[in-house]
Amino acid sequence: MNAHEIEYEISGEEMQFVEVILDPGESVVAEAGSFMMMDQDIQMETIFGDGSKQNEGVLGSLFSAGKRLLTGESLFMTAFLNVGQGKKGVSFASPYPGKIIPIDLSAFGEKFICQKDAFLCAAKGVSVGIEFSRKLGRGFFGGEGFIMQKLEGDGLAFIHAGGTIAKKELKAGEVLKVDTGCLVGFTQNVQYDISFVGGIKNTLFGGEGLFFASLQGPGTVYIQSLPFSRLASRVWAAAPKMGGKGKGEGSLLGGIGDLLDGDNRF
């Protein structure tokens, strides 16, 4: 294997974290800000890009970092190396309620495509690159724009998605239509395009957007029940606005509750 062969354990239900177990000399790379905890003999180092091109010198590192810049991510990632004796662990936490999905790239033809903010961590040697859309419809209306993340290699990678996760195995020619925000990722053989919802009433009053993500098999597709954008919009809509109602909004006794809580000031 080109990538380090790591072990792992996922803990938790709604707010999960993954503990990666490293043998001496093994390392894992992760997005900045996902670190949770680590054993004493784990050494942390900030690196350019994903570290998969370090053997190609400075130009390889710059190319790797440039790909991440196009996806809107930081130029830097963090590598965690076991410099001690025996197995050591380092843990990474999910950024919001949902599930962590282990992706064995060797089982998916050494390539997996996912939304830009789904990647959490991976074995050292896995390449985190970009996947350009060749279709204008997918680029403009696909929810992820022209660029998605591409994970390549023969090691383990971990992605995160919101809510409950559905894994669909599509047969050759089988088509699945998904809300564009609910799509997490898919294997390289899946054909991904955008289709119009259709119908005047559906378009104007359906409340489900104008487009579906259309995925055609064969291949594997992962779908999330709660995209972060949907969660954020609901939280924002429910949050008290300046000069608006307080947290008793919608409740018969809400106003009294606000008075008792001291929310209304005279």
For residue 153, the one-letter residue type is G
In a domain, 258, yes or no: no
In a domain, 198, yes or no: yes
- Of the candidates 113, 100, 96, 39, the residue with the CA atom closest to the CA atom of residue 227: 96
Report the pLDDT value the prediction gives residue 265, as an integer from 0 to 100.
Answer: 44
In a domain, 259, yes or no: no
Report the pLDDT value the prediction gives residue 148, as an integer from 0 to 100.
Answer: 82
In a domain, 244, yes or no: no
In a domain, 250, yes or no: no
> Per the structure, how many domains does the chain have?
1
pLDDT tens digits, one per residue of 146-198 = 578 889 999 999 999 999 999 999 999 999 998 888 899 999 999 988 776 65
For residue 70, the one-letter residue type is L
CA distance 43 to 82: 6
In a domain, 262, yes or no: no
Residue spans of beta strands (DSSP E) within 145-234: 147-152, 156-162, 165-170, 175-179, 183-187, 191-196, 211-216, 219-224
CB 186 within 8 A of CB 222: yes
Looking at 29-43, 104-118, 120-134, which range is the least confident one?
120-134
CATH code: domain of residue 98: 3.60.160.10
Predicted structure pTM score: 0.76
Q: Domain range holding 72?
A: 7-236
In a domain, 263, yes or no: no
For the chain, percent of residues with pLDDT exceeding 70 = 68
Report the pLDDT value the prediction gives residue 70, as an integer from 0 to 100.
Answer: 54
**122-140: average pLDDT:** 70
In a domain, 106, yes or no: yes
Report the pLDDT value the prediction gives residue 91, as an integer from 0 to 100.
Answer: 97
pLDDT tens digits, one per residue of 219-238 = 999 999 988 777 777 777 77
When pLDDT is cut at 50, 70 and 90, the band that residue 38 belongs to is very high
Q: Is the model's pLDDT at 214 over the cut of 50? A: yes
